[in-house]
Amino acid sequence: MAEAKITYRAKDPTKCPLCGHQFYHEVMHTGGGRMNAANLSDELHRGYNPSQKYGAVYPLLYPVVVCPQCWYAAYPKHFMVPGSMSKDMISTLQKKSDERKKMIRPLFDHVDFKRDRTLAEGISSYVLAAACYDEFPKTLSPSFYRGLSFLRAGWLARDINTVQPNEHYDYMAEIFLRKASFFYYEVLIRQEEGSETLEDVTHYGPDIDTNFGFDGVLYLIGVLQLKYGGERNSAKRAAILKSAQTTVSKIVGFGEFSKGKPSVLLDLGRELYNAIKKELQALG
Ligand SMILES: [Zn+2]
């Protein structure tokens, strides 16, 4: 019997705008019962049931394009954007190639973007993307993409923890999710001060199957702050949670506001509103 393939290589090569290396990005086959959708988590993450034929599949391993030579990483629509990549940006990203590789070393023993991706490459692809987006212009919504990348890295770190428990991957997940909570909150702050826009974002995700739009971002700000918010000062934490609660109330608002919004988001939003309320009472 032929091996049950989960992925294939893109027919057309991708050329790295930093080092000129040409490679074939790995893409997931979507049909044939590979994606056996399960529940949606309170973080809007879609679970997939393993199938007998394909085993466990992780569709999130493949969205980020990574150059196997210099480890430049970005989402497909940004991997090569000639008009938006200044000479300075390209030269900084070129210089940081070694830094990127060093950054991943403490996380996994072996990472190789020439081979078919494993959870190690999948997680690393998001950590690398988060680092590369730090150099991206404000018009391309870098805070949003950094938050999204750390969120997905956190989910995949949880997956690897399930496969290989007792290797501290749960701790790794916690760190990534804390970073995600920071950057999602930054999205809100930068929107308000007008220093970054979300105009360039077409798929807010946060997962690949559903686009919850800007409402999803607002919801995630609340859920991530509640679960992973890094603020230790209780007065400051209360202030952040209060602002998150106001934001969430806008999504689940009654009457006109909630028209046309996915009911799953409204239900989760209401639960979140009450959970934040409880936490605020506990903080005093
Ligand atoms: Zn490259």
Q: How confident is the model at residue 232 (pLDDT cuts 50, 70, 90)?
A: confident
CA–CA distance, 158 with 163 (Å, rounded to integer): 9
Question: Which pLDDT score is estimated for 217?
Answer: 94
Question: Which pLDDT score is estimated for 262?
Answer: 84
> Hey, what amino acid is at 169?
Y
Cα torsion angle, 191, 196, 202, 203, sign: negative
Q: How confident is the model at residue 220 (pLDDT cuts 50, 70, 90)?
A: very high
Cα torsion angle, 17, 19, 23, 27, sign: negative
Tell me the chain's radius of gyration from C-alpha atoms.
19
Question: Which pLDDT score is estimated for 92?
Answer: 97
| Domain definitions of the chain by residue range | 7-230
Give residue 91 CA to ligand 1 midpoint distance, Å.
Answer: 12
List, as ranges, residues with CB under 5 A of the ion ligand 1: 16, 18-19, 21, 67, 69-70, 72
Residue 97: is its pLDDT beyond 80?
A: yes
**Between residues 53 and 123, the one the model is more confident about:** 123
Percent of the chain predicted with pLDDT > 90 = 78
Q: How confident is the model at residue 1 (pLDDT cuts 50, 70, 90)?
A: very low
Residue 88 neighbours by CB distance under 10 Å? 9
Give residue 42 CA to ligand 1 midpoint distance, Å.
Answer: 36
Of 24-28, 34-38, 40-44, minimum mean pLDDT range: 34-38
* Burial of 97: CB neighbours in 10 Å, binned 0-12, 13-18, 19+: middle
Give residue 205 CA to ligand 1 midpoint distance, Å.
Answer: 27
**Between residues 57 and 113, the one the model is more confident about:** 113
**Percent helix, percent strand, percent coil in the chain, to nearest 5:** 50, 10, 40
Question: Which pLDDT score is estimated for 143?
Answer: 97
Give residue 110 CA to ligand 1 midpoint distance, Å.
Answer: 19
Give residue 258 CA to ligand 1 midpoint distance, Å.
Answer: 45
Cβ contact 112:86 at 8 Å: no
Give residue 93 CA to ligand 1 midpoint distance, Å.
Answer: 10
Question: Which pLDDT score is estimated for 62?
Answer: 97
Give residue 174 CA to ligand 1 midpoint distance, Å.
Answer: 30
pLDDT digits (tens, 9 = 90+) for 163-208: 999 999 999 999 999 999 999 999 999 999 999 999 889 999 999 9
Question: Which pLDDT score is estimated for 35?
Answer: 82
